[in-house]
Amino acid sequence: MSEELKKVTPTANIEIENTVPFDPLDMNNYRIEKLPKMVKSGFEKWMALAGGPLAILLFIYFYWFAKIPFLEQFDASSLGKEAAKRFGEIGAIGFTRINYAMLAIFVGAIVLWITEAIPNYLTSLILILGMVLTGVTTDKVAYAQLGHPVMWLNILSFVLASMLVKTRVAKRFALWFVIRFGKNATMVIFSFIVINIVLSAFISATTAKATILLPIFMVVAAIYGASKDDRNNFGRNLVLQNLFQINMGATGFLTGSGANLLAAAMIAGAMGWSSFSYQDWFVAAFPLCLILMLIGWFVGLKIIFPLKKCENQPQIEGGMDRLQLELSKMGKMTFEEFKAIAIFVCVLALWATDKQHGINQTAVAFIGAVVALLPGIGIVKWNDVDIPWHLLLFSAGAYTLGAGLEATDLPATLIETLFNAIGVNSHTPFILIYAMLTGGMLFSALLFESKTMRALIFIPIAIGVAHKFGYSVLSLAFPVALLVEHVYVLPFNSKPAALLYTTNHYSWSDTLKYGLTMMVISWFMIMLWGETVLKWLGYTNGLL
């Protein structure tokens, strides 16, 4: 071969490779590592730059200089005897130095988490260290949060989810269901409701569900003419409704997310129970999550993003056949897939019958993970398990923050002060208190990225308010817990929201319109639930 040809050939090869057309129906094009990295807007960049200095200044102010008169004269007796004992003698004992330290750490951490000035896991590490150095809690308590039972459940859930990914059971089920029931655009979008509910029963990580489903609905969107360069209402509906369904599916099951389990653990502790029953959560929460999914499907398709006539049928000739081809490539179900299904069914059965056998959710997940990892019997090896440790470190920081809030009773103190300021007292109707707490939990999702953090803030507040006014803990804390998964309005509100925003199938205004509409509807539904279902089940005495 001549030198000239040797020089030309590599360049020619590169040109040929770069001119290969993009295949919108190739699922490999939608792997997470191939999705575009979203560039921060000018406002987001400004927030990131200002977040660090602002957090430092606020910490310094609240820790060393702040003197809040109405908190300095705070009467601990209003919290009840048990809470007041943590402060010392019952009576007007003031806002202590430890309380100011906790407030400073809380405000600083919130600013860093919202502005994303530094990675959220790094904020958690700084938070943990800060609570130890300021004496808010002991190092034993702070460092022990990484061993919280919910942390273990998260780790074990990733083991089980990795089993689904490796065996491709979830992908096979989703492809089969869309092909079998997706006869038109309306039914295709409806089919994902069922898919998300089934996955939610087995996978307690919303990010994992989004990762599994993303390539599938990206291909389906392409079949119906939606792409990142040519948005249409089918694509908007498919992606935004999947984001909503991923979160609502998690609401229906106690094991749907770590935040659910944490909220349930705090409620159980306040009630003096060993644990919150999977069955009790399911009976109250699953019908609500299903109704909200159906409402979300109708609102998206008929009101906010109605489909044009041309969008109701596949735009790519033979498009659905490509999904059939993708399913055919997987071949017949393997023995490993059957084993994965068997393990998951057994885990789910044990979760669903926890009141009968008394084994808690984390122990059941341990059993499933041990079987899945057993040499010769199991399905995955440790190196196959994809555990996002940065998310777990972030969660550990959030749990430590919660431990500090509980130790200092800061939420109860602040809510008492707020209630006094706005005139809420024992004569205030229960429905108003219920509306304030549930509304606060719902709309706080517009600011807070972490479901875990919201649970750690608002569940103790609900418990404290219930104690203060003599209501059952369940009447306020449980409805608030049922709203912890509402994190779908803006891209920074949750990991699935950030992931799905990278598909470029919708804009900020699109997700704001749909998300806020569903949030308001959800607020109305939890009010209705408190007056009906939760009343029938004995959790509330009704709102009126």
The backbone region for 199, taken as left when phi is positive above 0, alpha when psi lies in -120 to 50, beta otherwise, is alpha
Lowest-confidence pick of 57-61, 230-234, 410-414: 410-414
Q: What is the mean pLDDT of the chain?
A: 80
Q: Name the more confident of 315 and 353.
A: 353
Spatial contact of 125 and 176, defined as CB atoms under 8 Å apart? no
Query: 257: helix, coil or strand?
Result: coil
On whether both 178 and 80 belong to a single domain, the answer is: no
pLDDT at 11: 41
Whether 5 maps to a domain, the answer reads no
Residue 75 β-bridge partners: 92
On whether both 370 and 293 belong to a single domain, the answer is: yes
Whether 328 maps to a domain, the answer reads yes
Whether 463 maps to a domain, the answer reads no
On whether both 117 and 205 belong to a single domain, the answer is: no
On whether both 155 and 133 belong to a single domain, the answer is: no
Q: Name the more confident of 130 and 389.
A: 130
Whether 397 maps to a domain, the answer reads no
pLDDT at 29: 58
On whether both 186 and 68 belong to a single domain, the answer is: no
Say how many domains are in the chain.
2
Nearest of 309, 315, 527 to residue 430 by alpha carbon: 527
On whether both 179 and 86 belong to a single domain, the answer is: no
pLDDT at 475: 95
Spatial contact of 98 and 136, defined as CB atoms under 8 Å apart? yes
Q: Which residue has the tokens 């944490």?
A: 262
**pLDDT tens sequence across 240-292:** 999 999 999 999 999 888 789 889 988 998 888 877 888 899 999 999 999 99
**pLDDT tens sequence across 76-129:** 555 444 444 444 433 344 577 888 898 899 899 888 877 878 887 898 899 999
Spatial contact of 297 and 189, defined as CB atoms under 8 Å apart? yes
Whether 323 maps to a domain, the answer reads yes
| Tokens encoding 500 | 């799905």
On whether both 104 and 201 belong to a single domain, the answer is: no
Nearest of 165, 148, 150 to residue 372 by alpha carbon: 165
Q: 261: domain range? A: 151-384
On whether both 260 and 322 belong to a single domain, the answer is: yes
On whether both 190 and 299 belong to a single domain, the answer is: yes
CA–CA separation, 466 vs 76, rounded Å?
A: 16
Residue ending a domain, choose from 86, 117, 147: 147
Nearest of 513, 515, 487 to residue 210 by alpha carbon: 487
CA–CA separation, 244 vs 233, rounded Å?
A: 16
User: What pTM, to 2 d.p., does this model score?
Assistant: 0.71
CA–CA separation, 298 vs 293, rounded Å?
A: 9
* Mean pLDDT, range 55-59, rounded to an integer: 95
